[in-house]
Amino acid sequence: MALSIDLSGRVALVTGGTSQLGRAMVRTLAAGGADLAVHYHQNQEGALRLCAEVEAMGRRSLAVQADVGVLQSVMEMQAAIQGGLGDPGIVVTNAVSQIAWNTVLEADLASYEDQFRTCVLQNVHLAKAFIPAMVRNGSGRYVGINTECTMQLKPNQSAYAAAKRGMDGILRVLAREVGEHQITVNQVAPGWTISDRDREQGTERNEGYEATVPLKRRGTDQEIANVVAFLASDLASFITGAYVPVCGGNVMPTV
């Protein structure tokens, strides 16, 4: 029996859809048949370009703006998506703000607050906005984009890693709370991934990092998007509460 990822008839939301990894996720979910709500914070032009790509594939699309760290903004986004495309059965929380990494002693408190808002509170807000419809429909796929840094905990990562570990706690609890409604909640944890920016700048290789990876290379944005699409599909219907590293074995959860 041939296996395929078929997302036809489903509506997917990708937060941070215009980001380096987000673009690959949007394109891949659309290629699987899903209609796409492409979230952006400031990059409206990029979101509209992505929507045009999605529509060229024969799918419906909608560019939606929100500050994912503010509940009211997320609820306004939810209303816009519901009115324009219908309730998403697939939600991918990929947005995260960029900060300067620094040591615990040197990092400013605003960095921790910023990362908390866009990692932990984003997922609280998105769950409150979109899980109720999944409960009513008796199915849903919620995929949070985490990071290998959550397990690495290297110097200068404290604000980012702490927020992503908080996100991990929220989503594991959420998986237990909504599982009875056939809603799965999983996380994809990329390593240092090759994206369009690297291809444009010729920075795909980093021998120091590659040496630490069992597969001896960096992954690609498409490889991350492939796992997101799998977890969003019926092929992953009995997987929930998982943290899935997509980093060539650079981190390995243990039992």
CATH number of the domain residue 49 falls in: 3.40.50.720
Percent of the chain having pLDDT more than 70?
100
Q: How confident is the model at residue 3 (pLDDT cuts 50, 70, 90)?
A: confident
Q: What is the pLDDT of residue 78?
A: 98
Tell the residue number behind the tokens 């300067």, with chain if given.
100
Task: Indicate whether 1 pLDDT > 70.
Answer: no
Catalytic residue among 112, 160, 209, 243: 160
Q: What is the mean pLDDT of the chain?
A: 97
Q: What is the pLDDT of residue 15?
A: 98
Conformation bin of residue 8: beta by default, left when phi > 0, alpha when psi is -120 to 50: beta
Q: Has residue 77 been placed in a domain?
A: yes
Sequence-ordered alpha helix ranges (H) in the chain: 20-31, 44-56, 71-84, 109-115, 122-137, 149-152, 158-178, 196-201, 207-212, 221-232
Whether 25 contacts 228, CB under 8 Å: yes
Q: Has residue 5 been placed in a domain?
A: no
- The whole-number average pLDDT for the span 1-9 is 88
Residue span of the structural domain in which 118 resides = 11-246
Angle, alpha carbons 158-167-74 (nearest 5°):
120
Whether 215 contacts 249, CB under 8 Å: yes
Q: Has residue 251 been placed in a domain?
A: no
| pTM to 2 decimal places | 0.96
Q: Has residue 6 been placed in a domain?
A: no
Q: Has residue 255 been placed in a domain?
A: no
Residue 36, token pair as written in the block: 């796409």
Instruction: Confirm whether 160 is a catalytic residue.
Output: yes
Q: Has residue 253 been placed in a domain?
A: no
- The whole-number average pLDDT for the span 142-169 is 97
Whether 232 contacts 29, CB under 8 Å: yes
- The whole-number average pLDDT for the span 234-238 is 97
- The whole-number average pLDDT for the span 37-53 is 98
Task: Indicate whether 241 pLDDT > 80.
Answer: yes
Q: What is the pLDDT of residue 24?
A: 98
Q: Has residue 254 been placed in a domain?
A: no
| Number of domain units in the chain | 1
Task: Indicate whether 176 pLDDT > 90.
Answer: yes
In three-state secondary structure terms, 107 is: coil
Q: What is the pLDDT of residue 2?
A: 74
